[in-house]
């Protein structure tokens, strides 16, 4: 998918390689979903990731001097914000190898270094827009709860996706996030940043 380096609407201090605002998620596949190839989620900056990044930049003590893991990183925006806010180590994971490659490219574009893996368990785990289907929501909830039991601070950005388990979290911030209408059928989404209880 064709991308261009440009500033992110809610966090203009971060630039990412992104698809054009008129491009849809399935445009590269002729508008069809293909189960053998994941959609290029990494080519877009989703509302949850933007809100999480804004929160981290506005509250650098959340990550300053800490080991941070961005789970299901997508474009890497939350991880980049952690690096900018002074995290000691930042790593990012995603099921899609193309997302990890995109995150590396976005880190380099922001003059930051992404670690392959952390030297120890994360102090802070970030996850933006990860509750978009029942299966993924169940898997993410289990993984985030396991991290929280080990003492990791878990922060999630979510714009009210239907499978978000709100009972497990407390809201710490809320943002009106600009989004491409071609993706969300609106030009902005009110998006919460949530800390796992």
Instruction: Give me the chain's average pLDDT, please.
Output: 94
Q: Is the pTM of this model over 0.85?
A: yes
Using alpha carbons, select from 144, 195, 139, 142 the residue that is nearest to residue 166: 195
Predicted confidence (pLDDT) at residue 36 exceeds the cutoff of 80: no
Distance of CA 168 to the CA centre of its chain: 19
Alpha-carbon gap, residue 11 to 59, rounded angstroms:
13
Under 8 Å between Cβ of 164 and 144: no
Cβ pair 75, 16 in contact under 8 A: yes
Share of the chain above pLDDT 70, in %: 94
Gap between the Cα atoms of 55 and 139, Å rounded: 25
CA-to-CA distance for 18 and 20, rounded, in angstroms? 6
**CATH number of the domain that 99 lies in?**
3.40.50.150
Average pLDDT over residues 160-188: 95
H or E element at residue 8: none
Residue 45's region, left for phi above 0, alpha for psi from -120 to 50, else beta, is: beta
Instruction: Supply the range of the domain harboring residue 43.
Output: 4-196
What pLDDT, on a 0 to 100 scale, did the predictor assign at position 34?
54
Please give the tally of structural domains in the chain.
1
* Span 122-129, average pLDDT: 98
Tens of pLDDT, residue by residue over 71-88, are 999 999 999 999 999 999
pLDDT band at 33 (very low <50, low <70, confident <90, very high): low
Q: Which two tokens stand for residue 79?
A: 């991880």
- Taking residues 157-176, report their average pLDDT: 97
């Amino acid at each position: 998918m064709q991308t261009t380096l440009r500033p992110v609407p809610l966090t203009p201090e971060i630039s990412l390689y992104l698809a054009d605002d008129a491009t849809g998620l399935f445009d590269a596949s002729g508008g069809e979903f293909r189960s053998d190839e994941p959609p290029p989620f990494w080519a877009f900056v989703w509302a949850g990731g933007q809100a999480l990044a804004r929160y981290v930049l506005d509250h650098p003590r959340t990550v300053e001097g800490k080991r941070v893991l961005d789970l299901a990183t997508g474009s890497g925006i939350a991880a980049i914000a952690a690096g900018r806010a002074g995290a000691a180590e930042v790593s990012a994971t995603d099921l899609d190898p193309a997302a990890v490659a995109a995150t590396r490219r976005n880190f380099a574009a922001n003059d930051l270094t992404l670690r392959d893996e952390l030297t120890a368990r994360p102090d802070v785990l970030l996850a933006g827009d990860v509750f978009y289907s029942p299966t993924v929501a169940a898997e993410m909830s289990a993984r985030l709860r396991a991290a929280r039991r080990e003492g990791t601070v878990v922060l999630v950005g979510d714009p009210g996706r239907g499978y978000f388990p709100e009972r497990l979290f407390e809201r710490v911030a809320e943002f009106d996030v600009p989004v491409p209408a071609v993706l969300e059928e609106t030009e902005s989404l009110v998006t919460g940043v949530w800390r796992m209880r």
